[in-house]
Amino acid sequence: MRVRSALGARFGKTRPHDSRLPPSQELVPLSDLNLQIGTCACSSSACAKPRESIVISSLLSLDSGRWSLIEFQLSFHAGRNQHGPGGNYMPRKNLIALSVLAMCSFSMPAQMDKRVQRRDPATAFDGLSKEQLALEDQLKGLISRGDRELKSGDASFAIVQYLSALELVHQQPLLAKWQDYVLQKLGTGYIQGNRPQNAIRIFSRLLEERTHHCESETAAVSNCADAQYGLGEGKIRAGDFTGALASLREAEANYAKAEKLSDSHQFAMMQVKNEAQTKVWIAVALSKVGKTADAIATAEAALPQLARVQSDESMLAAIRDDAARSLRDAQALLDYLKPIQ
């Protein structure tokens, strides 16, 4: 059928894979982690100023086309040096260097010199046991193999790797915080492996576990939208277009909300892209329930959003490329729908 051909990876598969960064530029894969360096002791008059912070933005590919913001805050008293629109993403090695510079610039009280307590499973800091580091390396190896197989088109083998990763998480309490991340990977594998019922179960579970994000008045509502998006995509693949519309419209609204609540330009732009890509799927579902005019209007509304992300040179190339692919998909869908309106 022509829609399936026109949409390509959008309708036949899940979103296309974003390019991976080389190991030397590995990004710290954590979401919403605040690293507080503490209150600096100094004799300068600058200490009287309100505490300011540097926000360093980075990204993680959560699945084939989804990226999440990682924000680290290096908080101190004197001066401001904040990333604004157009800021660069910060590789781990540069983040470490900046942290050292920040700490060397001020005298740190002895009582503030505490080990960093990690709140998310993706990045190892000092203070983690060798056992936990070894377990995380084992887990990341399974996930990486799954990602490679998924990218090469072997979804079945990728699913096996993700299931092994999930089993490891269940067996090891030290890996408990990785469960959400691994489930997201597994759900994506099920969608690409044309196992929509399995994907629906996974994303329904994730949505239930992210209820607090769905009710959030912060940018964390994007986590809820990710689960709603995956659930909607699974329902489309299962032929439940009415159910898909409900999930996708909720995702669309929450991505828009996350964009407005974010104080990071990069994160806000990712929500614009996610919202527009959700619109494309909504247009597909609308066309399947006979609402062609609404489908056309929805797809047309996605075009300027995707073009905006594609042209934003402050964004990573992989994100801009993903927006460009979705822009072509939206236009192909419109080319199919308009003659039959």
Q: How confident is the prediction along the chain (341 residues), in pLDDT tens digits per residue?
A: 434 433 544 444 444 333 333 333 333 333 333 333 333 334 333 443 333 333 333 333 344 344 433 333 333 333 333 333 334 444 444 444 444 444 444 434 444 333 334 445 544 455 678 999 999 999 999 999 999 999 999 999 999 999 999 999 999 999 999 999 999 999 999 999 999 999 999 999 999 999 999 999 999 999 999 999 999 999 999 999 999 999 999 999 999 999 999 999 999 999 999 999 999 999 999 999 999 999 999 999 999 999 999 999 999 999 999 999 999 999 999 999 999 87
- SS3 state at 217: coil
Q: Is domain 121-194 annotated with CATH 1.20.58? A: yes
In angstroms, the CA 136 to CA 105 distance is 33
Q: Which amino acid is at 204?
A: S
Find, among 59, 66, 60, the residue nearest to 15 by Cα: 66
In angstroms, the CA 102 to CA 280 distance is 44
In angstroms, the CA 188 to CA 203 distance is 9
pLDDT of the residue at 128: 75
Structure tokens at 160: 């096996």
Find, among 216, 253, 278, 159, the residue nearest to 31 by Cα: 216
Distances (CA, A) of 193 to 149, 150, 199: 11, 9, 9
pTM: 0.64
Distances (CA, A) of 39 to 71, 118, 160: 19, 19, 47
- Read out DSSP for 135-193? HHHHHHHHHHHHHHHHHHT-HHHHHHHHHHHHHHHHH-GGGGGGHHHHHHHHHHHHHHT
In angstroms, the CA 309 to CA 273 distance is 6
